Amino acid sequence: MNQAQFTYVAMPARVVFGVGAAQKLAAEVAALGVKRALVISTPGRAQMMREVAKGLDIAGVFDQAVMHTPVARVEAARKQAADVKADCCVVVGGGSTIGFGKAIALTSGLPIIAVPTTYSGSEMTTIWGVSEGGAKKTGRDPKVLPRVVIYDPQLTLELPPAISAASGVNAMAHCAEALYAHDGNPIVSIMAEEGIRALALSLPTVVRHPKDLEARTSALYGAWLAGSTIATTSVALHHKLCHVLGGLGLPHAETHAIVLPHALRYNAAAASAAMQRIQKVMGADDAPTAIWELEQRLGLPMRLADVGMQAADVEKAARIAVQAPYPNPRKVEYEPVKELLQNAFEGRRP
Protein backbone atom coordinates (compact mmCIF):
# COMPACT_ATOMS: atom_id res chain seq x y z
CA MET A 1 0.00 0.00 0.00
CA ASN A 2 1.38 3.34 -1.07
CA GLN A 3 0.97 6.07 1.56
CA ALA A 4 2.09 8.81 -0.80
CA GLN A 5 -0.75 8.21 -3.26
CA PHE A 6 -4.09 6.59 -2.61
CA THR A 7 -7.82 6.77 -3.22
CA TYR A 8 -10.02 6.55 -0.16
CA VAL A 9 -13.65 5.49 -0.56
CA ALA A 10 -15.96 5.40 2.48
CA MET A 11 -19.10 3.29 2.44
CA PRO A 12 -22.17 4.84 4.04
CA ALA A 13 -22.77 2.92 7.25
CA ARG A 14 -24.78 3.26 10.41
CA VAL A 15 -23.34 0.85 12.97
CA VAL A 16 -25.00 0.31 16.33
CA PHE A 17 -22.67 -1.71 18.53
CA GLY A 18 -22.77 -3.12 22.05
CA VAL A 19 -24.22 -5.59 24.51
CA GLY A 20 -28.01 -5.29 24.27
CA ALA A 21 -27.87 -3.34 20.97
CA ALA A 22 -30.42 -5.74 19.39
CA GLN A 23 -33.08 -4.15 21.59
CA LYS A 24 -32.73 -1.03 19.46
CA LEU A 25 -33.84 -2.87 16.31
CA ALA A 26 -37.43 -1.59 16.25
CA ALA A 27 -36.27 2.00 16.82
CA GLU A 28 -33.66 1.70 14.06
CA VAL A 29 -36.22 0.31 11.62
CA ALA A 30 -38.67 3.09 12.51
CA ALA A 31 -35.94 5.70 11.99
CA LEU A 32 -35.57 4.46 8.41
CA GLY A 33 -39.26 5.24 7.86
CA VAL A 34 -40.17 1.65 6.94
CA LYS A 35 -42.95 -0.43 8.47
CA ARG A 36 -43.25 -3.82 6.82
CA ALA A 37 -40.24 -6.00 7.55
CA LEU A 38 -39.54 -9.36 5.98
CA VAL A 39 -37.47 -11.00 8.71
CA ILE A 40 -34.91 -13.54 7.49
CA SER A 41 -32.90 -16.31 9.16
CA THR A 42 -31.72 -19.87 8.70
CA PRO A 43 -33.91 -22.59 10.29
CA GLY A 44 -31.28 -22.88 13.05
CA ARG A 45 -31.47 -19.20 14.00
CA ALA A 46 -35.29 -18.94 13.66
CA GLN A 47 -35.96 -18.74 17.38
CA MET A 48 -33.25 -16.14 17.95
CA MET A 49 -34.62 -14.15 15.01
CA ARG A 50 -38.15 -14.18 16.48
CA GLU A 51 -36.86 -12.92 19.82
CA VAL A 52 -34.79 -10.19 18.22
CA ALA A 53 -37.75 -9.16 16.06
CA LYS A 54 -40.15 -8.74 19.00
CA GLY A 55 -41.66 -5.27 18.91
CA LEU A 56 -41.15 -4.96 15.16
CA ASP A 57 -43.96 -4.58 12.60
CA ILE A 58 -43.46 -7.85 10.75
CA ALA A 59 -44.92 -8.36 7.29
CA GLY A 60 -43.48 -11.85 6.90
CA VAL A 61 -40.93 -14.37 8.14
CA PHE A 62 -38.54 -16.26 5.88
CA ASP A 63 -36.58 -18.72 8.01
CA GLN A 64 -35.30 -20.89 5.18
CA ALA A 65 -31.97 -19.23 4.37
CA VAL A 66 -29.20 -21.74 3.55
CA MET A 67 -25.52 -21.68 2.61
CA HIS A 68 -24.41 -20.50 -0.86
CA THR A 69 -27.66 -18.55 -1.60
CA PRO A 70 -28.98 -21.06 -4.18
CA VAL A 71 -31.03 -19.22 -6.78
CA ALA A 72 -34.20 -21.36 -6.39
CA ARG A 73 -34.36 -20.59 -2.64
CA VAL A 74 -33.55 -16.94 -3.32
CA GLU A 75 -36.47 -16.75 -5.76
CA ALA A 76 -38.79 -18.09 -3.03
CA ALA A 77 -37.57 -15.36 -0.66
CA ARG A 78 -37.94 -12.67 -3.33
CA LYS A 79 -41.49 -13.85 -4.05
CA GLN A 80 -42.38 -13.77 -0.38
CA ALA A 81 -41.00 -10.23 -0.05
CA ALA A 82 -43.22 -9.15 -2.96
CA ASP A 83 -46.29 -11.13 -1.78
CA VAL A 84 -46.26 -9.60 1.71
CA LYS A 85 -45.43 -6.14 0.29
CA ALA A 86 -42.33 -5.89 2.47
CA ASP A 87 -40.66 -2.49 2.53
CA CYS A 88 -37.43 -3.69 4.18
CA CYS A 89 -35.50 -6.85 5.04
CA VAL A 90 -34.28 -7.56 8.55
CA VAL A 91 -31.59 -10.26 8.48
CA VAL A 92 -30.53 -12.05 11.66
CA GLY A 93 -27.65 -14.47 11.18
CA GLY A 94 -24.29 -15.11 9.53
CA GLY A 95 -23.00 -14.52 6.02
CA SER A 96 -25.42 -17.04 4.53
CA THR A 97 -28.49 -15.24 5.90
CA ILE A 98 -27.15 -11.81 5.01
CA GLY A 99 -26.63 -13.19 1.50
CA PHE A 100 -30.40 -13.75 1.22
CA GLY A 101 -31.16 -10.17 2.25
CA LYS A 102 -28.68 -8.95 -0.33
CA ALA A 103 -30.18 -11.12 -3.07
CA ILE A 104 -33.62 -9.64 -2.35
CA ALA A 105 -32.23 -6.10 -2.25
CA LEU A 106 -30.42 -6.64 -5.54
CA THR A 107 -33.63 -7.04 -7.51
CA SER A 108 -36.06 -5.03 -5.35
CA GLY A 109 -33.94 -2.24 -3.86
CA LEU A 110 -35.44 -2.94 -0.41
CA PRO A 111 -33.28 -1.56 2.41
CA ILE A 112 -31.56 -4.11 4.65
CA ILE A 113 -31.19 -3.90 8.40
CA ALA A 114 -28.57 -6.47 9.41
CA VAL A 115 -28.09 -8.13 12.78
CA PRO A 116 -24.96 -10.26 12.26
CA THR A 117 -24.36 -13.27 14.49
CA THR A 118 -21.00 -14.50 13.10
CA TYR A 119 -17.73 -12.83 12.08
CA SER A 120 -18.22 -13.05 8.28
CA GLY A 121 -18.23 -9.27 7.72
CA SER A 122 -20.67 -9.56 4.82
CA GLU A 123 -22.92 -6.91 6.41
CA MET A 124 -20.33 -4.20 5.68
CA THR A 125 -19.89 -4.93 1.97
CA THR A 126 -21.66 -4.29 -1.32
CA ILE A 127 -20.71 -7.81 -2.45
CA TRP A 128 -23.57 -10.16 -3.34
CA GLY A 129 -23.48 -13.76 -4.54
CA VAL A 130 -25.95 -16.39 -5.72
CA SER A 131 -25.26 -19.95 -6.81
CA GLU A 132 -26.84 -22.04 -9.51
CA GLY A 133 -25.86 -25.50 -10.70
CA GLY A 134 -22.61 -25.49 -8.71
CA ALA A 135 -21.45 -22.12 -10.08
CA LYS A 136 -21.41 -18.97 -7.98
CA LYS A 137 -22.17 -15.59 -9.51
CA THR A 138 -20.95 -12.57 -7.52
CA GLY A 139 -20.89 -8.83 -8.00
CA ARG A 140 -20.79 -5.51 -6.21
CA ASP A 141 -23.82 -3.24 -5.99
CA PRO A 142 -24.42 -0.37 -3.54
CA LYS A 143 -28.10 -1.45 -3.34
CA VAL A 144 -27.18 -4.50 -1.25
CA LEU A 145 -25.22 -2.63 1.42
CA PRO A 146 -27.22 -2.76 4.68
CA ARG A 147 -28.52 0.64 5.75
CA VAL A 148 -28.12 -0.19 9.43
CA VAL A 149 -25.97 -2.84 11.09
CA ILE A 150 -26.68 -3.80 14.68
CA TYR A 151 -23.91 -5.73 16.42
CA ASP A 152 -24.93 -7.32 19.70
CA PRO A 153 -22.23 -9.59 21.18
CA GLN A 154 -24.90 -11.32 23.26
CA LEU A 155 -26.26 -12.93 20.09
CA THR A 156 -22.90 -14.59 19.45
CA LEU A 157 -22.63 -16.43 22.78
CA GLU A 158 -24.10 -19.62 21.29
CA LEU A 159 -21.88 -19.59 18.21
CA PRO A 160 -20.00 -22.90 18.55
CA PRO A 161 -16.26 -22.58 19.29
CA ALA A 162 -15.22 -24.31 16.05
CA ILE A 163 -17.36 -21.99 13.89
CA SER A 164 -16.24 -18.97 15.92
CA ALA A 165 -12.58 -19.86 15.38
CA ALA A 166 -12.91 -20.42 11.63
CA SER A 167 -15.14 -17.38 11.08
CA GLY A 168 -12.82 -15.25 13.23
CA VAL A 169 -9.65 -16.20 11.38
CA ASN A 170 -11.51 -15.67 8.11
CA ALA A 171 -12.09 -12.12 9.35
CA MET A 172 -8.39 -11.78 10.12
CA ALA A 173 -7.73 -12.81 6.51
CA HIS A 174 -9.86 -9.88 5.29
CA CYS A 175 -7.65 -7.57 7.34
CA ALA A 176 -4.38 -9.15 6.22
CA GLU A 177 -5.21 -8.83 2.52
CA ALA A 178 -6.41 -5.25 3.03
CA LEU A 179 -2.97 -4.40 4.42
CA TYR A 180 -1.33 -5.27 1.10
CA ALA A 181 -4.20 -4.54 -1.29
CA HIS A 182 -3.12 -2.62 -4.39
CA ASP A 183 -5.98 -0.20 -3.71
CA GLY A 184 -5.42 0.04 0.04
CA ASN A 185 -5.07 3.30 1.93
CA PRO A 186 -3.93 4.51 5.36
CA ILE A 187 -7.43 4.51 6.91
CA VAL A 188 -8.23 0.97 5.84
CA SER A 189 -4.81 -0.15 7.10
CA ILE A 190 -5.54 1.30 10.54
CA MET A 191 -8.84 -0.59 10.62
CA ALA A 192 -7.14 -3.78 9.40
CA GLU A 193 -4.42 -3.59 12.03
CA GLU A 194 -6.95 -2.96 14.79
CA GLY A 195 -9.16 -5.79 13.49
CA ILE A 196 -6.27 -8.28 13.62
CA ARG A 197 -5.34 -7.09 17.11
CA ALA A 198 -8.88 -7.45 18.47
CA LEU A 199 -9.43 -10.89 16.89
CA ALA A 200 -6.02 -12.36 17.74
CA LEU A 201 -6.43 -11.27 21.33
CA SER A 202 -10.00 -12.47 21.82
CA LEU A 203 -10.35 -15.68 19.78
CA PRO A 204 -8.38 -17.95 22.15
CA THR A 205 -10.71 -16.91 25.01
CA VAL A 206 -13.80 -17.22 22.77
CA VAL A 207 -12.84 -20.83 22.00
CA ARG A 208 -12.04 -21.75 25.63
CA HIS A 209 -14.91 -19.79 27.19
CA PRO A 210 -17.57 -19.22 24.49
CA LYS A 211 -19.82 -17.32 26.92
CA ASP A 212 -17.15 -14.76 27.88
CA LEU A 213 -18.97 -11.56 26.91
CA GLU A 214 -15.86 -9.39 26.94
CA ALA A 215 -14.01 -11.68 24.51
CA ARG A 216 -17.14 -11.99 22.35
CA THR A 217 -17.44 -8.20 22.25
CA SER A 218 -13.83 -7.82 21.16
CA ALA A 219 -14.17 -10.52 18.49
CA LEU A 220 -17.32 -8.95 17.05
CA TYR A 221 -15.65 -5.54 17.06
CA GLY A 222 -12.74 -7.06 15.12
CA ALA A 223 -15.17 -8.69 12.70
CA TRP A 224 -16.84 -5.34 12.03
CA LEU A 225 -13.46 -3.78 11.24
CA ALA A 226 -12.56 -6.75 9.04
CA GLY A 227 -15.79 -6.43 7.07
CA SER A 228 -15.14 -2.71 6.65
CA THR A 229 -11.69 -3.40 5.19
CA ILE A 230 -12.92 -5.69 2.41
CA ALA A 231 -15.77 -3.31 1.65
CA THR A 232 -13.50 -0.95 -0.27
CA THR A 233 -10.31 -2.84 -1.12
CA SER A 234 -9.66 -5.62 -3.60
CA VAL A 235 -8.80 -9.08 -2.40
CA ALA A 236 -5.63 -10.78 -3.64
CA LEU A 237 -4.08 -14.24 -3.77
CA HIS A 238 -5.54 -15.56 -0.52
CA HIS A 239 -9.18 -14.86 -1.31
CA LYS A 240 -8.79 -15.78 -4.97
CA LEU A 241 -7.35 -19.17 -4.04
CA CYS A 242 -10.12 -19.74 -1.52
CA HIS A 243 -12.71 -18.86 -4.15
CA VAL A 244 -11.23 -21.56 -6.40
CA LEU A 245 -11.21 -24.05 -3.51
CA GLY A 246 -14.80 -23.12 -2.64
CA GLY A 247 -15.70 -24.06 -6.21
CA LEU A 248 -14.30 -27.52 -5.46
CA GLY A 249 -16.77 -27.79 -2.59
CA LEU A 250 -14.51 -26.95 0.39
CA PRO A 251 -16.10 -25.15 3.38
CA HIS A 252 -15.83 -21.34 3.34
CA ALA A 253 -14.41 -20.19 6.67
CA GLU A 254 -12.20 -23.23 7.40
CA THR A 255 -10.63 -23.06 3.95
CA HIS A 256 -9.87 -19.35 4.38
CA ALA A 257 -8.26 -20.07 7.75
CA ILE A 258 -6.10 -22.96 6.50
CA VAL A 259 -4.82 -21.08 3.44
CA LEU A 260 -4.08 -17.79 5.26
CA PRO A 261 -0.63 -18.52 6.77
CA HIS A 262 0.54 -20.08 3.49
CA ALA A 263 -0.71 -17.16 1.39
CA LEU A 264 1.05 -14.78 3.80
CA ARG A 265 4.30 -16.75 3.41
CA TYR A 266 3.91 -16.52 -0.38
CA ASN A 267 3.57 -12.73 -0.16
CA ALA A 268 5.81 -12.05 2.86
CA ALA A 269 8.92 -10.77 1.09
CA ALA A 270 6.90 -8.66 -1.37
CA ALA A 271 4.66 -7.17 1.33
CA SER A 272 7.05 -6.63 4.22
CA ALA A 273 5.31 -3.49 5.54
CA ALA A 274 2.03 -5.41 5.88
CA MET A 275 3.82 -8.29 7.62
CA GLN A 276 5.42 -5.88 10.07
CA ARG A 277 2.04 -4.44 10.99
CA ILE A 278 0.62 -7.92 11.61
CA GLN A 279 3.67 -8.85 13.67
CA LYS A 280 3.42 -5.66 15.71
CA VAL A 281 -0.19 -6.26 16.78
CA MET A 282 0.33 -9.98 17.36
CA GLY A 283 3.54 -9.47 19.36
CA ALA A 284 5.39 -11.87 17.04
CA ASP A 285 8.41 -11.75 14.77
CA ASP A 286 6.98 -13.64 11.78
CA ALA A 287 3.41 -13.02 10.59
CA PRO A 288 2.73 -16.34 8.75
CA THR A 289 4.06 -18.38 11.68
CA ALA A 290 2.12 -16.31 14.21
CA ILE A 291 -1.16 -16.91 12.36
CA TRP A 292 -0.38 -20.62 11.91
CA GLU A 293 0.37 -21.04 15.63
CA LEU A 294 -2.79 -19.11 16.58
CA GLU A 295 -4.83 -21.49 14.39
CA GLN A 296 -3.26 -24.46 16.15
CA ARG A 297 -4.15 -22.99 19.54
CA LEU A 298 -7.74 -22.47 18.33
CA GLY A 299 -8.00 -26.14 17.37
CA LEU A 300 -8.77 -25.35 13.74
CA PRO A 301 -8.27 -27.98 11.03
CA MET A 302 -4.76 -27.30 9.68
CA ARG A 303 -4.76 -29.34 6.45
CA LEU A 304 -6.89 -28.84 3.35
CA ALA A 305 -6.92 -32.65 3.30
CA ASP A 306 -8.92 -32.44 6.57
CA VAL A 307 -11.74 -30.43 4.98
CA GLY A 308 -12.35 -32.57 1.92
CA MET A 309 -9.64 -31.65 -0.59
CA GLN A 310 -8.26 -34.49 -2.74
CA ALA A 311 -4.55 -34.74 -3.63
CA ALA A 312 -5.35 -34.33 -7.35
CA ASP A 313 -7.10 -31.02 -6.61
CA VAL A 314 -3.77 -29.33 -5.76
CA GLU A 315 -2.67 -29.13 -9.39
CA LYS A 316 -6.18 -28.44 -10.62
CA ALA A 317 -6.69 -25.54 -8.20
CA ALA A 318 -3.23 -24.11 -8.96
CA ARG A 319 -4.01 -24.15 -12.68
CA ILE A 320 -7.35 -22.37 -12.23
CA ALA A 321 -5.83 -19.87 -9.79
CA VAL A 322 -3.24 -18.59 -12.28
CA GLN A 323 -5.60 -18.40 -15.28
CA ALA A 324 -6.93 -14.86 -14.83
CA PRO A 325 -4.33 -12.32 -13.68
CA TYR A 326 -5.09 -10.07 -10.70
CA PRO A 327 -3.04 -7.69 -8.54
CA ASN A 328 -1.03 -9.37 -5.78
CA PRO A 329 2.18 -8.23 -4.07
CA ARG A 330 4.11 -11.15 -5.58
CA LYS A 331 3.52 -12.38 -9.11
CA VAL A 332 1.00 -15.23 -9.16
CA GLU A 333 2.71 -18.16 -10.91
CA TYR A 334 1.85 -21.81 -11.29
CA GLU A 335 4.81 -23.56 -9.60
CA PRO A 336 4.97 -21.48 -6.39
CA VAL A 337 1.15 -21.44 -6.12
CA LYS A 338 1.12 -25.22 -6.47
CA GLU A 339 3.74 -25.41 -3.70
CA LEU A 340 1.63 -23.11 -1.51
CA LEU A 341 -1.40 -25.34 -2.02
CA GLN A 342 0.59 -28.51 -1.41
CA ASN A 343 1.83 -27.04 1.90
CA ALA A 344 -1.73 -26.11 2.86
CA PHE A 345 -2.96 -29.54 1.75
CA GLU A 346 -0.46 -31.21 4.07
CA GLY A 347 -0.76 -28.61 6.85
CA ARG A 348 2.97 -27.86 6.95
CA ARG A 349 4.38 -25.09 9.14
CA PRO A 350 4.55 -22.14 6.67
- Sole binder of ligand NAD in the list 29, 38, 40, 42 (CB under 6 A): 42
d(CA 94, CA 167): 10
Closest CA to 85 of 64, 69, 108: 108
At residue 38, the 3 state secondary structure works out as strand
Q: Work out whether the CA dihedral 141, 73, 24, 231 comes out positive or negative.
A: negative
Q: Which is nearer to ligand NAD, 120 or 328 (CB)?
A: 120
Distance CA(194)–CA(125), nearest Å, equals: 18
288 binds ligand NAD per the rule CB under 6 A:
no
- Nearer CB in complex with ligand NAD: 42/80: 42
Give the nearest distance from C-beta 192 to ligand NAD in angstroms.
Answer: 15
Q: Does 285 bind ligand NAD (CB under 6 A)?
A: no
User: Which lies closer to ligand NAD via its Cβ, residue 68 or residue 330?
Assistant: 68
Q: Is residue 36 at the binding interface for ligand NAD, with CB under 6 A as the rule?
A: no
Would you give the binding string for ligand NAD spanning residues 47-76, x where CB under 6 A is met? --------------------xx--------
Q: Considering the complex, what minimum distance in angstroms separates the CB of residue 257 from ligand NAD?
A: 11
Instruction: Give the per-residue contact string, 221-260, with ligand NAD (x = CB under 6 A; - = no).
Output: -------------------------------xx-------
Burial class from Cβ neighbours inside 10 Å (0-12, 13-18, 19+) for residue 251 reads middle
Instruction: Compute the least distance from the CB of residue 88 to ligand NAD, in Å.
Output: 19
The nearest distance, CB 34 to ligand NAD, in angstroms, is 22
* 101 binding ligand NAD? (CB under 6 A): no
Angle at 190 between CA 230 and CA 209, to 5 degrees: 75
Three-state secondary-structure class, residue 324: coil
Query: Closest distance between ligand NAD and the C-beta of residue 275, in Å?
Result: 23
Buried b (16+ CB within 10 A) or exposed e, 117-148: bbbbbbbbbbbbbbbeeeeeeeeeeeebbbbb
* Site stretch for ligand NAD (CB under 6 A), options 15-23, 24-32, 119-127, 185-193: 119-127
Q: Which residues pair with 130 in a beta bridge?
A: 137
| Residues facing 93 on adjacent strands | 116
Go through the chain and tell me how many residues it has.
350
With CB under 6 A as the contact rule, the residue among 120, 217, 229, 255 that binds ligand NAD is: 120
Strands 88-93 and 112-116: parallel
Chosen residue from 52, 111, 117, 254 binding ligand NAD by CB under 6 A: 117
Range in contact with ligand NAD (rule: CB under 6 A) among 91-99, 206-214, 267-275, 306-314: 91-99
Q: What CA dihedral angle connects 239, 256, 49 and 116, to 10 degrees?
A: -60
Q: Given candidates 26, 76, 163, 284, which one binds ligand NAD under the rule CB under 6 A?
A: 163
- Interaction between residue 93 and ligand NAD (CB under 6 A): yes
Single residue of 40, 56, 88, 94 touching ligand NAD by CB under 6 A? 94
Which residue has the CB atom at the shortest distance from ligand NAD?
95
11/30 with CB nearer ligand NAD:
11
Cβ neighbours, 10 Å, residue 7: 8
CA distance linking residue 263 with residue 177, whole number of Å = 10
C-beta closer to ligand NAD: residue 42 or 343: 42
Characterize 52-70 residue by residue with b for buried, 16 or more Cβ atoms within 10 angstroms of its Cβ, and e for exposed: bbeebebbbbbbebeebbb
List residues binding ligand NAD (CB under 6 A): 42, 44-45, 67-68, 93-97, 99, 117-118, 120-122, 125, 127, 129, 155-156, 158-159, 163, 167, 252-253
